[in-house]
Amino acid sequence: MKSNLLNMVLVLSLTCLVCSGILAGAYVLTKDPISAAAERKSNEAIAKVLPEFSSTSEDDAMLGEVKYHYFKAEGPAGVVGYAVRSTVSGFGGPLTLMVGITPDGIVYNSCVLSHSETPGLGAKCETDEAFMAQWKGFDPSVKTLSVRKDGGDVDAITASTITSRAYALAVSNAVDVVRSLRGERIDGSTGASVIIKEEPLDE
Amino acid sequence: MSKFRLIADGLVKNNPTFVLLLGMCPTLATTTSAVNGLSMGLATLFVLVLSNIAISLIAPVTPDKVHIPVYIVVIATFVTLLQFIMQAYTPAIYEALGLFIPLIVVNCIVLGRAEAFASKNGVGASALDGIGIGLGFTAALTVLGLVREILGSGSAFGFKFIPGDGMLAFVMAPGAFLALGYLMVLFNKLKK
């Protein structure tokens, strides 16, 4: 079809109008299923890293300049633990974990939410049973949260020291987040970003 | 052209991956496993069929000078639609394919078929062309993903049959080029 200003403007505007109409409709229809799918995924992760709980509430916490999103899980007997979403840079890109920490500061369990580590090497942080099992019940007040090569107590994945180091850092940051949360509560301080890193964990 | 020919051409004679060498970026990047290859192929098939149908309908009333922007808007609409649907109902696959779903907008197979076929043919023929090319792309990506998964992870469609790691290079980028190259040789040899 021959082009002139009128038909070009008309056809292009009409196309855009119809397309945006379709997309607006699709957005409204899929909005709820999308947020339900995202929520299901994060709930599954929380259930995996914390002991049994009856309800969760979510909030953000600041650690230094970085914002962490965390979920507080409560059972009949009070707070059963915190699930902290912790992101660090791994070997191939961001490594995001969900770390479950009980109120006494002990790591209950952890799981990988997303990673872009090398298949067969760093990607084992998601599948290697020995590596994953060592986080269960890891007590940061007794053991040090860094790989053995750096003088800590974390067994690294063979040939993936950088990924293991990143993993340990992510867990350690999550522990610090919970420490700062507890610290605030014990002191009754209202400052939102008060960090008491060295605060002992006794009640 | 018969209906059968239109589909068969897309699968063999005009196979987008092994003959036309179109859409190499998603081909190399997403075929780390058979399931990923299959999902990427099906996602492209969905967009290709719908955009071919829509473009064959609007082509007669589209002024020549703005036909590319109009086609891109139409294709982008279907891709975004697909994104919403995948995010809602298959979030795991959506995450595995990542950026390559929105990139279907600029996949040269889709715009190429719009330009070369849908804008000059009727709705029925365009739909069949979309199905044929889409199936050709899906088959190629699935085979490539399967070969890379078998060699690289010792499994097929997630079912592990060789314990251990396999040749890891095939899961990574260099293996993608190697596997594609050999499959291309094989395909063109068999086609003759």
Q: Which of A40-49, A90-99, A193-202, B128-137 has the lowest mean pLDDT?
A: A193-202
The overall average pLDDT reported for chain B is 89
Q: Does B68 touch chain A (CB under 8 A)?
A: no
Q: Any residues with CB less than 8 A from the CB of B59 and at least 6 apart, and which? A: B67, B118, B119, B120
Each residue's pLDDT tens digit, B127-146: 999 999 999 999 999 999 99
ipTM of the complex: 0.78
Q: What local confidence, expressed as pLDDT, does residue A62 receive?
A: 80
Contacts of B73 in chain A (CB under 8 A): 12, 15-16, 19
Contacts of A3 in chain B (CB under 8 A): 63-66
Contacts of A41 in chain B (CB under 8 A): 91
Q: What local confidence, expressed as pLDDT, does residue A41 receive?
A: 85
| Nearest CA among B111, B182, B179, B178 for reference residue B147 | B179
Segment A99-111 mean pLDDT: 89
Q: What local confidence, expressed as pLDDT, does residue B1 receive?
A: 59
Does A196 score more than 50 pLDDT?
no
| Nearest CA among B109, B110, B53 for reference residue B76 | B110
Q: Does B96 touch chain A (CB under 8 A)?
A: no
Segment A62-83 mean pLDDT: 85
Q: Does B10 touch chain A (CB under 8 A)?
A: no
Does A202 score more than 70 pLDDT?
no
The residue of chain B with its CA nearest to that of A32 is B88
Does A186 score more than 50 pLDDT?
no
| Nearest CA among B58, B126, B117 for reference residue A14 | B58
CB proximity under 8 Å: A 112-171 to B: 114, 118-121
Domain ranges, ordered by start, for chain B: 3-148
Q: What does the alpha-carbon distance between residue B72 and residue A16 come to, in Å, rounded to a whole number?
A: 10
Contacts of A27 in chain B (CB under 8 A): 84
Q: Please, which pLDDT band fits residue A203 given cuts at 50, 70 and 90?
A: very low
Q: What local confidence, expressed as pLDDT, does residue B7 receive?
A: 83
Q: What does the alpha-carbon distance between residue A114 and residue B69 come to, in Å, rounded to a whole number?
A: 36
The predicted model scores a pTM of 0.77
Q: What local confidence, expressed as pLDDT, does residue A189 receive?
A: 35
Beta-carbon separation of B172 and A119 below 8 A: yes
Share of chain A above pLDDT 90, in %: 23
Q: Which of B74, B88, B91 sits opposite A19 (nearest CB)?
A: B74
Q: B168-177 burial, b for 16+ CB within 10 Å, e for fewer?
A: bbbbeeebbe
C-alpha angle A110/A115/A116, rounded to 5°? Answer: 155
Tokens of A152: 């800590």
Q: Please, which pLDDT band fits residue A190 given cuts at 50, 70 and 90?
A: very low
The count of CB pairs under 8 A between chains A and B is: 76
Q: Which of A113-117, A195-199, B69-73 has the lowest mean pLDDT?
A: A195-199
Each residue's pLDDT tens digit, B14-37: 888 888 888 888 898 888 889 989
